[in-house]
């Protein structure tokens, strides 16, 4: 049974230690089944016919990046990438802290003691206080419960999550009634005014992204698997195929989202998965589909027909960002250790809706650093309100919203690790060919998988390559199971003139995006920009 003892001052780390002992009603380290039942009893969600917990997140169906703040103090003043992160003064954070504590004393709370990071050398002790039982279940899925160390668990990071709290911009220095505030000096995260559980996960990720580079560890927003040819890391923004391509039944899944790379190799930050569910099908993603139908899985904003006992994964009426949360063990070929050696291959995924990037290209270390800093993909018409034609999207390090430090700090670490491990680097386009979205066609998944297989097993690197004149990329001239015409995008277009115009347009977008980063990189990276033949 779960222990329901009151919080004590010595149980909480950081500056919060003298505050959380005032609570006498928190329910600590409830088991999965207890939290599932409690969430239903409290009306937070309902059980599906398959044993999943179906929940909705209200107004916030995704993260609120404009409501996220970092405390600016002596520690962070010179170390945060302030052009990309919003600041909050220490006195504003402290008012928010005290007001949230007062609110919490009137609220029923749950707490979980958890571990982040599969590497013992970098393990982070996290204590998460939540207002909702299902949020407590969520973090229990996403991280590793620490019951065995219950009596002497010392948190290094504390998260207080109160959806019913409403922040006051004039008092707390925030933008709206919703707030996500991180104080790196005290190891404290405050979340208020949002029911979206992903804010908790991403706050822990942001904290690790700040502390690990100082230890010579590269934190990465990527998936990792391991099999023939060694381990592989998959970078990519939403919609590029990161989860789909890393979920290979012939390879062991290390994790689907957040990892670290140190001198020993790769390690998962998490103990679970938070997979996108929109248009999920049993045929295309059988393991994730099966996980969604297991007892205890959390289905967030997923449409469910109670009468038929069936999910409608194609229903985006509530949001495109439907999600499923479950422990990594729900995936049959998941790694028990959540660790792997140094990657033999690094794959950077992009969905080029302009239809001009080759389906795969081998990158030099400088090119890998450039494309890592760029983090390019494209939105297509219909994915967001107001998007009527393809739009380029750039997110530094393939995860700019979670990167507190300047992107070049992460990119320099990446290049150092690439050089020391001699990893092969690839840029893979899972988007369009033969024309932009609406004119060309999506890369056939069979061809994408064949190219990826060749990259991971080493056979692709043994073939002959040519230099793409539009982007300066090293492109294979042939690959088993793939038409040679597809490897040269211009040959898939009906008009060479139209292709050249579109390619020049995309190169211009890369150049415009990189201007703010150019002063902070060396000449090798500048020479790796698209259009400059290597």
| pLDDT in the model for residue 384 | 43
Structure tokens at 74: 């002596």
The rounded distance, in Å, linking the Cα atoms of 522 and 525 is 6
Map residue 233 onto helix, strand or coil: strand
| pLDDT in the model for residue 216 | 97
> What burial class does residue 371 get, using C-beta atoms within 10 Å of its C-beta: 0-12 exposed, 13-18 middle, 19+ buried?
buried
Of 451, 238, 441, 426, nearest in space to 353 by CA: 441
Map residue 265 onto helix, strand or coil: strand
Of 138, 114, 273, 277, nearest in space to 195 by CA: 138
Of 37, 252, 280, nearest in space to 136 by CA: 37
Q: Which residue has the tokens 């992009």?
A: 350
The residues annotated as belonging to the active site are: 63, 202, 221, 238, 242-243, 257, 323
The rounded distance, in Å, linking the Cα atoms of 34 and 36 is 5
Helices assigned H by DSSP within 162-214: 169-172, 198-211
Structure tokens at 238: 């939403």
Structure tokens at 106: 């009137």
- Spell out the domain ranges in the chain: 25-215, 342-526
Contact in structure between 235 and 221 (CB atoms under 8 Å): yes
The rounded distance, in Å, linking the Cα atoms of 348 and 237 is 9
| 102 contacts: CB under 8 Å, gap ≥ 6 | none
CATH number of 342-526: 3.90.228.20
Q: What is the pTM of this model?
A: 0.92
The correct CATH number of 25-215 out of 3.50.50.60, 3.40.449.10, 3.30.420.40, 3.90.1150.10 is: 3.40.449.10
Asked whether the domain spanning 342-526 has the same topology as the one spanning 25-215, the reply is no
Residue-by-residue pLDDT tens, the chain, 534 positions: 333 322 222 333 344 444 555 455 678 999 999 999 999 999 999 999 999 999 999 999 999 999 999 999 999 999 999 999 999 999 999 999 999 999 999 999 999 999 999 999 999 999 999 999 999 999 999 999 997 545 688 999 999 999 999 999 999 999 999 999 999 999 999 999 999 999 999 999 999 999 999 999 999 999 999 999 999 999 999 889 888 899 888 999 999 999 999 999 999 999 999 999 999 999 888 999 999 999 999 999 999 999 999 999 999 999 999 999 999 999 999 999 999 999 999 999 999 999 999 999 999 999 999 999 999 999 864 444 444 567 899 999 999 999 999 999 999 999 999 999 999 999 999 999 999 998 999 999 899 999 999 999 999 999 999 999 889 999 999 999 898 899 999 999 999 999 999 999 999 999 999 999 999 999 999 999 987 654
- What φ, ψ does residue 265 adopt, rounded to 5°? 135, -150
Of 206, 203, 204, 243, nearest in space to 223 by CA: 243
């Amino acid at each position: 049974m779960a222990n329901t003892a009151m919080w004590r001052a010595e149980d909480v780390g950081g500056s919060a230690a003298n505050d959380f002992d005032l609570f006498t009603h928190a329910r600590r380290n409830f088991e999965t089944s207890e939290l599932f039942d409690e969430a239903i009893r409290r009306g937070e969600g309902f059980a599906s016919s398959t044993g999943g917990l179906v929940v909705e997140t209200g107004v916030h169906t995704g993260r609120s990046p404009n409501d996220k703040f970092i405390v600016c103090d002596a520690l962070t003043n010179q170390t945060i990438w302030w052009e990309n992160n919003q600041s909050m003064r220490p006195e504003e954070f402290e008012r928010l802290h005290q007001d949230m504590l007062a609110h919490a004393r009137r609220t029923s709370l749950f707490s979980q003691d958890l571990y982040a990071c599969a590497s013992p050398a970098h393990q982070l002790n996290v204590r998460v206080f939540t207002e909702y039982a299902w949020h407590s279940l969520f973090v229990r899925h996403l991280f590793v419960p620490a019951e065995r160390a219950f009596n002497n668990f010392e948190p290094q990071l504390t998260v207080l999550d109160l959806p019913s709290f409403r922040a006051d911009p004039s008092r707390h220095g925030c933008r709206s009634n919703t707030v996500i505030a991180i104080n790196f000096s005290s190891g404290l995260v405050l979340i208020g005014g949002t029911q979206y559980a992903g804010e908790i996960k991403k706050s822990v990720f942001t904290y690790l992204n700040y502390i690990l580079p100082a230890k010579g560890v590269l934190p990465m927003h990527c998936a990792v698997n391991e099999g023939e040819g060694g381990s592989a890391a998959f970078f990519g923004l939403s919609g590029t195929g990161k989860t789909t391509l890393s979920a290979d039944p012939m390879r062991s899944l290390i994790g689907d989202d957040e990892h670290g790379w140190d001198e020993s190799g790769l390690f998962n930050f998490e103990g679970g998965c938070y997979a996108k569910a929109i248009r999920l099908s049993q045929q295309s993603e059988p393991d994730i589909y099966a996980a969604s139908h297991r007892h205890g899985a959390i289905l967030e904003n997923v449409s469910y027909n109670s009468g038929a006992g069936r999910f409608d994964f194609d229903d985006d009426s509530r949001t495109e960002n439907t999600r499923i949360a479950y422990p990594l063990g729900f995936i049959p070929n998941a790694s028990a250790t959540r660790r792997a050696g140094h990657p033999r291959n690094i794959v950077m995924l992009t969905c080029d809706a302009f239809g001009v990037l080759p389906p795969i290209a081998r990158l030099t270390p400088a090119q890998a650093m450039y494309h890592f800093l760029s983090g390019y993909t494209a939105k297509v018409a219909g994915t967001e309100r107001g998007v009527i034609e393809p739009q380029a999207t750039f997110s530094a390090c393939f995860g700019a919203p979670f990167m507190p430090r300047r992107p070049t700090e992460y990119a320099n670490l990446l290049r150092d690790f690439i050089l020391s491990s001699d990893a092969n680097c690839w840029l893979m386009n899972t988007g369009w060919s033969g024309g932009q979205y609406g004119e060309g066609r999506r890369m056939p998944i069979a061809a994408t998988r064949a190219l990826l297989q060749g990259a991971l097993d080493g056979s692709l690197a043994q073939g002959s390559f040519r230099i793409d004149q539009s982007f300066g990329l090293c492109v294979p001239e042939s690959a088993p199971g793939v038409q040679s015409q597809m490897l040269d995008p211009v040959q898939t277009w009906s008009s060479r003139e139209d292709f050249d115009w579109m390619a020049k347009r995309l190169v211009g977008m890369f150049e415009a995006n990189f201007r703010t980063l150019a002063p902070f990189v060396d000449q090798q990276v500048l020479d790796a920009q698209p259009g400059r033949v290597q």
